[in-house]
Structure 1
Amino acid sequence: MVEQVGIAVLGCGYWGVNYVRVFNEIPETRVVVACDQRPERVREIAQRYPGVAVTTDVAEALATPGVDAVVVCTEATSHHRVARECLRAGKHVLVEKPIATTGEDAGDLIAAAAARKLTLMVGHTFLYNAGVQRVKEYIDRRELGRIYYLYARRTNLGPIRRDVNALWDLAPHDISIFNYFMGTAPLWVSAVGSRALRNGREDVGFIVLGYPDNVLGQIHVSWADPHKVREVVVVGSDKRIVFNDLQTMEQVRVFEKGVAPLMQNGEGYSGDQLVVRDGDIISPSIQPREPLKTLASHFADCVIHGRRPLTDGDAGRDVVRVLEAVDKSMAMRGTPVELVSTEESLYVYPAESASHPLR
């Protein structure tokens, strides 16, 4: 147990620089060293943060005195190799999404962290967003009635990655959100993709996820759409909730409208007779927080107090398994792929958690 966590940030690209900033701003942590293979990025970090040591060598960063934990913010295909090296060095690890590019590699990291009693956390940042948390509260209180389906859109013109396709780059956000809302991973996956930009990998994709109780989730991602969208919608029998990450004033909107089959004497449904509910549209007040800073504080709290992260290795592995099934389904032109769901392999998000970062 430590009072202040010393952080090493590996990978100082666009997102890695943000990690350097937030871990420098919260009182529970201090950034000891930043590492990037590009000398120009190292020089930029040194100029912006003169109190932070810099290096282009991972081994040197891990050997820097005072480093307790590491943020792995390298390319996705290197996450397993780099994170495992950090765990072997006895460091707690926060790895950006996806935790790895195969379920087997994700399991290897989980086992390595458990063997050394180290914290392993995945950077599924949207689960630390106050708007997403508010939607989750509505779901946990069962205010939506029966959930019918969910859908998400995540589109923009790029940025185009060199190491993974658009589905591996963008869909982890929405898969993790859907799993969190539903409290479990999907039972099956169907997906199709297109290489519209002809750059050797899918830049457009459509994913359908089948959850228990016949709940469907649909995700559309694209690097080729000039209209930027960051939206998640949950449709229930009593209410419909919209989370729009690009809307600062009304990030969450609750439509108190719904439809459900008519019950007969409280014993069963009466065929095709429906009850339509029509009400107000509400925009609940949400206290603004920077999700990445909330995530960083939660990571520090888990390291200091030995708590289980909300987005731990098991949650990260479930997302990777979905993405593996996405690849298999795309190769078969959308044929559904079943996921193995056992107590050992299927992570279940708790509806209430003592270690929850926003409760």
Structure 2
Amino acid sequence: MIEKLRVAVIGAGYWGPNLARNFRSSPEWELAAVCDLDLDRARRLAEQGGGTRAESSLAAVLAADDIDAVAIATPATTHHRITTAALASGKHVLVEKPLADTVEHGADMVGRAAAGGLVLMADHTYCYTPAVLKMRELIEEGALGDILFIDSVRINLGLIQPDVDVFWDLAPHDLAIIDFLLPGGLRPLAVSAVGADPLRSGKACVGYLTLPLQNGAMAHVHVNWLSPTKVRQMIIGGTRRTLVWDDLNPQQRLSVYDRGVDLDIQSLDGVERSAATVSYRLGDTWSPALPETEALRSMVDEFAGAIRGRRSPRTDGRAGLRVLTILDAARRSLAEDGAATAPIADLALAGNS
């Protein structure tokens, strides 16, 4: 029998109970403590599993020798303070998205974890869904060919957040997924953000991100708090096939289309020019079979595997930092009326550690 790792969940609000439930059900983990400034709320969550203690003091949790790791489910503005304190106490850390509230804070977290030989993992839950794992597999094996474009839509009605705009609320999901899917991660040449605030709420409620990629490819993300219908869809077009992910269609979440455009390139007088003829592929469509597994359960097991194996998790702190640099560039672009803005060099900020 492998001795279980012991974890404390920090934050018992919206996301904390989901983390607590999956840590409890995993054979890798023992939920040792739940910590929240509201002790009654911490107690209610702790009481759902025997042997879990409730705390209102973060210092008490971090001082406990019997806790190996913490999972942080608190507002982004608190992530840096809690994470650095946890790392200083020798705890491994799982952090809810986004990794931090600024690139500088995120880079500092990544650097401290590396210096201490500790695991820092970003809670990019969608990256552990069977659909996204299959998408990554298809891209890695070359089933789509070279990536030409990515179109992602995440729209719904509300909730309008009091502290962040629609980019920081919804786009981290899509950016984390794209970062997970692309070999080498998401490293756009620039970021252009256009947003609107038709409600005059003081923040963008509708937004579009344009991310030019290497080799002429492009990613585009549409986020919206005001849509009367909910859409969760991503289209990834390649030179060989196109993949469509519809997260709200449980019967057919993934569809692979052998359809596309082929453009012959001919050399005329030693100069490459597009031929006058364009051919269209109209092949079959198929849907890969997907297992029924809970993404959060896979994620907490990956957290344990990274700790035991002394390795980086699939969605490590650097993945969270890459997403953070794009959100930061989007914020700067939005302030400049959509001007193309270069992301800050995340690895340089992290000290290449």
Q: Same fold by TM (over 0.5)?
A: yes
Residues 76 and 163 in structure 1, CA contact (< 8 A), matched pair in contact too? no
For 1:31 and 1:52, locate their aligned partners in 2 and report how far apart those are by CA, in whole Å.
6
Residues 122 and 313 in structure 1, CA contact (< 8 A), matched pair in contact too? yes
| Corresponding position of 2:301 | 297
With structure 2 as the length reference, what TM-score do the two structures score? 0.92
Whether 2:316 is the aligned partner of 1:307: answer no
| Corresponding position of 1:349 | none
Residues 204 and 221 in structure 1, CA contact (< 8 A), matched pair in contact too? yes
Residues 76 and 164 in structure 1, CA contact (< 8 A), matched pair in contact too? no
Deviation track 1:268-291 (CA, whole Å, cap 9, x = no partner) reads 664242121111121110112111
**Offset, 1:258:** 0.8
Q: Which moved more, 1:196-205 or 1:103-112?
A: 196-205
* Letter of the 2:26 counterpart: I
| Corresponding position of 1:178 | 178
**Offset, 1:340:** 5.0
**Offset, 1:233:** 0.9
**Offset, 1:203:** 2.0
Residues 107 and 346 in structure 2, CA contact (< 8 A), matched pair in contact too? no
**Offset, 1:345:** 6.3
Residues 147 and 236 in structure 1, CA contact (< 8 A), matched pair in contact too? yes
For 2:276 and 2:317, locate their aligned partners in 1 and report how far apart those are by CA, in whole Å.
45
Identify unmatched segments of 5+ residues in structure 1. Answer: 347-359
For 1:178 and 1:202, locate their aligned partners in 2 and report how far apart those are by CA, in whole Å.
22
With structure 1 as the length reference, what TM-score do the two structures score? 0.90
Q: Cα distance 1:112–1:276, how it changes in 2: closer, same or farther (>3 A)?
A: same
For 1:269 and 1:239, locate their aligned partners in 2 and report how far apart those are by CA, in whole Å.
24
SS in 2 for 1:30: strand
For 2:116 and 2:346, locate their aligned partners in 1 and report how far apart those are by CA, in whole Å.
25
Q: CA RMSD in A?
A: 2.0
Identify unmatched segments of 5+ residues in structure 2. Answer: none
For 1:313 and 1:177, locate their aligned partners in 2 and report how far apart those are by CA, in whole Å.
15
Whether 2:270 is the aligned partner of 1:287: answer no
**Offset, 1:181:** 2.3
Percent identity for Structure 1 against Structure 2: 37
Deviation track 1:254-275 (CA, whole Å, cap 9, x = no partner) reads 111111212459x966424212
Q: Cα distance 1:340–1:13, how it changes in 2: closer, same or farther (>3 A)?
A: closer
Picking from 310, 316, 321, the partner of 1:317 is 321
| Corresponding position of 2:151 | 151
Residues 103 and 346 in structure 2, CA contact (< 8 A), matched pair in contact too? no
| Corresponding position of 2:333 | 329
Whether 2:214 is the aligned partner of 1:231: answer no
SS in 2 for 1:160: coil
Deviation track 1:91-110 (CA, whole Å, cap 9, x = no partner) reads 00000111112111111111
SS in 2 for 1:48: coil
Q: Cα distance 1:40–1:108, how it changes in 2: closer, same or farther (>3 A)?
A: same
| Corresponding position of 1:351 | none
How many matched pairs? 344
